[in-house]
Amino acid sequence: MPIKTRSIPATGHLIAFETTARLGSLSLAADELCVTTAAISKQIKSLEQFLNTELFIRSAQGMRLTENGEQYLSDVTQALNHLSQCTAKFKQRSEETKNEITIELGPCFLHFWLLPRLEIFREKYPNIMINISVNSVRDIEDGGNYDVAFFYSSISSRNSHTHIMFKERMFLVCSPKFLNSRTNIDVKTSAIFDHPIIMMSEEHANWEGWESWAMYSGITYRKPKNILRVEDQVAVIQAAINNAGIALVWDWQVDDLITKGQLIAISSPLDLNDNAYFLATTARPNSQAAATFSNWLIAESQQ
């Protein structure tokens, strides 16, 4: 239903009326509203003319409300309070939206790198709200509904919106229990494939895998005798922790787990120069919160 705006007096007149009625003085009202006494007086007279009734009894002792003025004051005070509360809620929602960011990343980065550190950020920046979206196949920065993204791509794809978080460094790991149960694990020959190996069911086309590792290591690849295939790299690492075999990993995925003694590196790291893990940001209205989060991620990755 349309609002009949002609029946609504100016908001400034209502505020002048409420302030004068509350303080009982034109001069005090003028001081509170940072205007002249004459301006307050003019606004009240205009309101009275609009309503076609007197709201105050004027005397040397000050301003006293008429009976109509008292009735009107109750409704005006309620309306102004409601308007103030609605405006405050809207501003709060607007501020919360401005400090809300969406980050897109793969499950491995989420589980083994970000989540163990995220509470540090949330304690430092409690007003920034984070939405996490998992995407295990992103390999470019464009086309995503995110503020910050972590993805794997070629070094040549780097641009002004991206930052290299981790260069590609891969090696083999297993659990201490698995290592102690085996003798003569030779990682320098194809004999490595005589041991239980953990692999993803489907390796992404642009990811380096076991065949790449063997080639870079100068080893002839052959199909392992005992393979455990799992859905993703998170499961690969979890299986290795639980003594299921040898896993191919990247340093940032397992550095914390090695420090905790849950995994042991059994081969020297291979440093590759073609691909890397990137951090990307987008130019959106909440880019300040995204920049804060990105800078924190970069600082954490360098520790």
Query: Which pair of tokens denotes residue 182?
Result: 């085996």
Predicted structure pTM score: 0.66
Identify whether residues 117 and 239 lie together within a single domain.
Answer: yes
Q: What is the pLDDT along the chain (303 residues), one digit of tens a residue?
A: 455 656 788 989 999 999 999 988 899 989 999 999 999 999 999 999 999 999 999 887 778 899 999 999 999 999 989 988 887 777 666 555 568 899 999 999 999 999 999 999 999 999 999 999 988 765 555 556 788 989 888 877 777 678 899 999 999 999 999 999 988 899 999 999 999 999 998 776 667 899 999 999 999 999 999 999 999 999 999 999 999 999 999 999 999 999 999 999 999 999 988 888 889 887 565 578 888 999 999 999 988
Query: What's the CATH code of the domain at 86?
Result: 1.10.10.10
Count the neighbouring beta carbons within 10 Å of the beta carbon of residue 184: 7
CA distances from 112 to 23, 106, 190 (A): 62, 10, 29
Name the domain count of the chain: 2
Identify whether residues 192 and 278 lie together within a single domain.
Answer: yes
Identify whether residues 37 and 150 lie together within a single domain.
Answer: no
Structural domain boundaries enclosing 48: 5-97
Domain closes at, from 78, 97, 116: 97
Domain closes at, from 40, 67, 97: 97
Q: What is the pLDDT of residues 124-174, one digit of tens each?
A: 999 999 999 988 765 555 556 788 989 888 877 777 678 899 999 999 999
Query: Which pair of tokens denotes residue 46?
Result: 């205009």
Query: What's the CATH code of the domain at 190?
Result: 3.40.190.290
- SS3 call for 182: coil
Query: Which pair of tokens denotes residue 43?
Result: 């606004």
Q: What is the pLDDT of residues 46-59, one digit of tens each?
A: 999 999 999 999 88
Identify whether residues 239 and 273 lie together within a single domain.
Answer: yes
Identify whether residues 106 and 137 lie together within a single domain.
Answer: yes
Identify whether residues 112 and 92 lie together within a single domain.
Answer: no
